[in-house]
Chains A and B, each alone.
Chain A
Amino acid sequence: MSADARHDTGLGRHLLGIDGLDRSDLEEILDLTDAFAEIGRRPIPRVPALRGRTVATLFFENSTRTRMSFETAARRLSADTVAFSAGTSSLSKGESIRDTVEVVASYGADVLVVRHAMAGTAHRVAEWTDLSVVNAGDGCHEHPTQALLDCYTLRERRGSLDGMRIAIVGDVSHSRVARSDVLAFTTLGAEVVLVAPATMLPPAIEGWPVTVAHELDPLLGDLDATYLLRLQRERITEGLIPSLREYAADFCLTAGRVARMRSDALVLHPGPTNRGVEISAEAAADHRSVILDQVVNGVSVRMAVLFLLLGSGRQLGAVEAGDAVEVDR
């Protein structure tokens, strides 16, 4: 595919969400991820694909893992990184996000990786700048690279998501991971069931391509994958559930529950896990668990995304020189 043709697809200058991407867009990214995963297994996992380019991470909400994953991906592509984090910044001095974006852009950044506690902030940033924007999580809305790495992990184990039956368990209402995963999993042919207490489902899910259940146990034997969402402890004070104990009794993937899943079923979690709340230590260590694979694949997927947004076309030569990826896609 030529660089120009790429702009005919949903993946244009930005990656703001899974919403708007079709099956071929997702498969393009996942196929490209294979090549970058190979780089990660090398003794020196680095290629010059994005040499001279700068990836700026703007994390207005704290996150260690996602930021480290993006920074690792950028470094493996030989890009420079600049980091902005809200806690230590001028934002606490009253600077607006728009000002921050303009300042970071003026440092010569080529792509802004944006995390914010409010839905839509990455979309607004994309309107304020000519740079590429990657949404690294916007409030309760989307977390597209998480969904891509989840899809990659499932595909790596199963070859395809077609026909898979996947349960997403927990606080769907407040989860950007769930929103992106529902879109990505179903676009790639999987069937999704949301499993949650009624207070943790979005207020209106008419039109979502999912089914809903309030009990996990009856489903276990029938699932190809169980995706456990992280439970934020403050949800108890918001009155969504009576206690962590009651939540765990109904929804925690315990050793007993994981044993009732099929032997070839998979267990996923976006991390970091609350052991004993949504997943037990035994279940996380079970052979069905691919939680660590998700972390590893996260770097490869983010390399693919950064490469697609920044490197395609102009940087193909650099990739060839690095003997890294097959470029004749």
Chain B
Amino acid sequence: MSVVLRGGRIIDRDGERVLDVELGDDGLIAALGTGLSGDLDLDATGCVVSPGFVDLHAHLREPGQEEAETILTGALGGSLGGYTALVAMPNTDPTTDCVAVVEQVRALGRRSTCEMVPSAAMTLGRHGVDMAPMGELVDAGVGIFTDDGTGLQDPRLMRRVMEYSTGLGGRLGRPVVLAQHCEVSALSEGGYMHEGEWSSRLGIPGQPAEAEELMVMRDIALVRLTGAHLHFQHLSTASSVAMVRGAKAAGLPVTAEATTHHFTLTDAACASYDPVFKVHPPLRTDADVRAVREGLADGTIDAIATDHAPHAAHAKELPFDQAPPGMLGLETAFSLALGESGLDLPEVLALLSWKPAAIAGVADRHGAPVVPGVPANLCVVDPDETWTVSGAAMASLSSNTPYEGRSLRGRVRHTIRAGVPVVVDGEARR
């Protein structure tokens, strides 16, 4: 069955043009042209055709917490959000720190609507004590290592992981990426929101911005020492952004992501005491939000990520300290990026698609220019449609969105995964 996306404006890393896109049975883009028609024509008039989005930071909860999310439901949420590839975080149960779990995540991914790109833990069990079998994992195709959920505390071990990773790039065919959740736990422990004016007033113990910044500072120093490629996850403070800017200016091999919530929400949201606003790193101040937006605008931050972190309803109905951190992100990311980052559409698409695709090592098949012969992983977005966020209506098994009831502009209309329309007119097809 041939499918044609008709009348859309194509935007990819090579620029813009208005052309119909024909998708072949082989999952590749068959042709571009005008007046094309297929067995199924999808209207893209007034819309933008983009390479599919790539999330560098998704918690799919499988294996281990299938009550909160599965790879199938998480991927469906991703498809509805315009994603065609998701980097699966390794804080599963069991931890993704061995080839067996990597293969399980991939296998489940093959039955889902997104490509699963498994990341693996840097240390066994993410305990920060013993290095995971990184060589074996690289041979299994893993290109991103992270202990996400926690930072690797021990600077000596971090140095060794970095050094070791530089010797594995040859086997992978590109540099291994180490993704750090920067948080010095000795400073953050016992803190449940950003420490500052709001935490002081609300009586919720806070964690200082410095808990993140000290590890950003340490890791920049260790990158200088080792030459490893370090990717900073979910940068949330003004100083963190400034330090990464400086490291890039110095030519160090660092990249960074920011989540949608860190450039759209502040710690003031915690005044409701609703743990839906509890997240690590915590929501920060207005000044930090501005700094993250500036980092996105000037290229300091390479990618918008979601840190999609589903939690079952009962888990968020606990007191603020006991509730687990994290919020949904996949189905709201594009709208928030378009409506609230201050960036224009081509910049937003770059940060959601081809720039993260390069970091994830999937640029041959996701985020690639829309030309005949490349895998048809695409999304069609309507920049003008407005919609209202509803956690209950999302594909996720969980509903912990901090944007409940918000009206957002910009919506994903169609998503194509390997030539197959998986989302049509905003509805999942399978």
**Interface residues, chain A, CB within 8 Å of chain B?**
96-98, 116-121, 123-124, 128, 138-142, 173, 176, 179, 202-207
Contact = CB atoms under 8 A, between A and B. Distances in A.
Interface string B271-290: 01110000000000000000
Contacts of A206: 197
Contacts of A97: 317-319
A96 B200 contact: no
A204 B320 contact: no
B199 interface: yes
A118 B197 contact: no
A121 B199 CA distance: 15
B113 to A, nearest CB: 34
Main SS class of interface, A: loop
B317 A96 contact: yes
Given A96-B318, A140-B205, A123 B273 contact: yes
A119 B322 CA distance: 11
- Identify which of B203, B205, B208 gathers the most chain A CB atoms within 10 Å of its CB: B203
B321 interface: yes
Interface residues of B, number: 22
B286 to A, nearest CB: 14
Given A119-B273, A120-B202, A207 B197 contact: yes
B195 interface: yes
Given A120-B273, A120-B319, 20 more contacts: A97-B317, A97-B318, A98-B317, A116-B319, A118-B319, A118-B320, A119-B202, A119-B273, A120-B320, A123-B273, A124-B274, A124-B319, A139-B203, A141-B202, A141-B203, A176-B203, A202-B201, A203-B195, A203-B200, A207-B197
A192 B70 CA distance: 54
12 contacts: A97-B319, A118-B204, A119-B273, A120-B204, A120-B273, A123-B273, A139-B203, A141-B204, A203-B195, A203-B199, A205-B200, A207-B197
Given A96-B314, A120-B273, A123-B273, A203 B320 contact: no
B200 A118 contact: no
Interface of B: 195-197, 199-206, 208, 272-274, 314, 317-322
Nearest to A118: B319
A314 B185 CA distance: 54
Contacts of A205: 200
A117 B208 CA distance: 21
A121 B203 contact: no
A142 B203 contact: yes
B196 A203 contact: yes
Contacts of A140: 203-205
A96 B208 CA distance: 30
Contacts of A207: 197
Contacts of B321: 117-118, 139
Contact of A202 (B200, B273, B318, B319): B200
Contacts of A203: 195-196, 199-200, 206, 208
Contact of A204 (B196, B272, B319, B322): B196
A176 B205 CA distance: 12
Contacts of A123: 272-273
A128 to B, nearest CB: 8
Contacts of B197: 204, 206-207
A204 B200 contact: yes
A107 to B, nearest CB: 20
A121 B319 contact: yes
A179 B204 CA distance: 12
A204 B287 CA distance: 15
B193 to A, nearest CB: 10
Contacts of B205: 140
B67 to A, nearest CB: 15
Contacts of B272: 123
Contacts of A202: 200-201
A194 B206 CA distance: 20
A139 B195 contact: no
A42 B321 CA distance: 45
Contacts of A96: 314, 317-318
**Which 7 residue pairs of A and B lie closest in terms of their CB atoms, listed nearest first?**
A120-B273, A141-B203, A202-B200, A119-B203, A118-B319, A140-B203, A204-B197
Contact of A139 (B200, B204, B274): B204
A61 to B, nearest CB: 10
Given A97-B318, A124-B319, A119 B204 contact: yes
A82 to B, nearest CB: 22
Contacts of A138: 203
A194 to B, nearest CB: 12
B196 A118 contact: no
A119 B320 contact: yes
A176 to B, nearest CB: 6
A119 to B, nearest CB: 4
A140 B201 CA distance: 9
Nearest to B190: A238
Nearest to A121: B319
- Identify which of A117, A118, A173, A206 gathers the most chain B CB atoms within 10 Å of its CB: A118
A128 B200 CA distance: 25
A206 B201 CA distance: 10
Contacts of A142: 203
A139 B206 CA distance: 13
A139 B322 CA distance: 13
Contacts of A121: 273, 319-320
A204 B201 CA distance: 8
A47 to B, nearest CB: 35
Contacts of B204: 118-120, 139-141
Contacts of A118: 204, 319-322
Nearest to A201: B200
Nearest to B208: A203
Nearest to A205: B200
- Identify which of A96, A120, A173 gathers the most chain B CB atoms within 10 Å of its CB: A120
Contacts of B274: 124
A319 to B, nearest CB: 35
A231 to B, nearest CB: 18
